[in-house]
Amino acid sequence: MAEAIDYYFTVISPNVYLGHETLMEIARRHGLQVNFRPVTLGKLWEQSGSVPLPQRSAMRQRYRFVELQRHAELRKVKLNLKPAFFPVNPTTADLSAAAIVLGGGDPDGFIFAACRAVWAEEKNISDEDVVAELLTATGHDAEAVLAAAGGEDAANAVAANSEAASAADAIGVPAYVYKGETFWGQDKLELLENMIVSGREAYHAI
């Protein structure tokens, strides 16, 4: 079995959007499997001490805008800094990603499409019809996926992912865990690839 990267995410995150395609390129380049693990971001924040955007200082909010522009340029990804539908509830889309995984499918294209819908296309992903359109456009059976997304298995998977992310010290999303080492933030993708290339052992807290 190929070595794997555990990928913790929610489609509402601009940094998940900015890093998604780069992560997938790294995984393909090195023959690594990606384990797609959608989480409930609030559960991680409860553990890490992070707070929702409106509760952050004005200084941190201003700096966030600068960082997003830098990384959108670096990753060559279109990004609206103030999308029409943000904040927005990502639950249906995240549960749909979990349902695709549980059904043995590949959620890669759907995840990126859902992120892009928020951050580049001014679409409301809390609307089930919008999620259905995105599922269909990325090759999935929208009716079947949405039915599974509403079930206990998908909800339990997201809850388990959230617990696993907290246990791995994933402060927020995106977080990538490789050989037991956690990389928080899409700006750490180059560090992740450096570890893969070097073959070094994982670093741990002391």
Q: Tens of pLDDT along 21-56?
A: 999 999 999 999 999 999 999 888 787 778 777 888
The Cα–Cα gap between 138 and 91 comes to 18
Burial of residue 105 (number of CB atoms within 10 Å: 0-12, 13-18, 19+): middle
- In eight-state DSSP terms, residue 124 is -
Instruction: Give pLDDT, residue 62.
Output: 95
The CB-based long-range contact list for 103-109 (8 Å cut-off, 24+ gap) reads: 103/144, 103/145, 103/148, 105/140, 107/36, 108/24, 108/34, 108/36, 109/138, 109/139
Question: 98: Cβ–Cβ under 8 A, 6 or more apart, which residues?
Answer: 38, 149, 154, 157, 158, 161
Q: Is the Cα dihedral 120, 126, 129, 132 positive or negative?
A: positive
Give the distance, in angstroms, between the CA of residue 20 and the centroid of all CA atoms in the same chain.
Answer: 7
The Cα–Cα gap between 121 and 116 comes to 6
Instruction: Give pLDDT, residue 113.
Output: 98
pTM, two decimal places: 0.96
Which residue has tokens 């570890």? Answer: 195
Intervals of the chain under pLDDT 50: none
Instruction: Report whether 11 contacts 97 (CB < 8 A).
Output: yes
The Cα–Cα gap between 128 and 137 comes to 14
The Cα–Cα gap between 11 and 2 comes to 26
Instruction: Report whether 113 contacts 11 (CB < 8 A).
Output: no
CATH of 4-198, one of 3.40.50.2000, 3.30.70.20, 3.90.1570.10, 3.40.30.10: 3.40.30.10
Instruction: Give pLDDT, residue 184.
Output: 97
Instruction: Give pLDDT, residue 1.
Output: 55
- Residues constituting the chain: 206
The b-or-e profile of 20-56 (16+ CB within 10 A means b, else e) is: bbbbbebbeeeebebebbbbbbebbbeeeeeeeeeee
Instruction: Give pLDDT, residue 47.
Output: 79
Instruction: Give pLDDT, residue 45.
Output: 79
> How wide is the angle at C-alpha 107 spanned by C-alphas 101 and 108, nearest 5°?
140
The Cα–Cα gap between 187 and 178 comes to 16
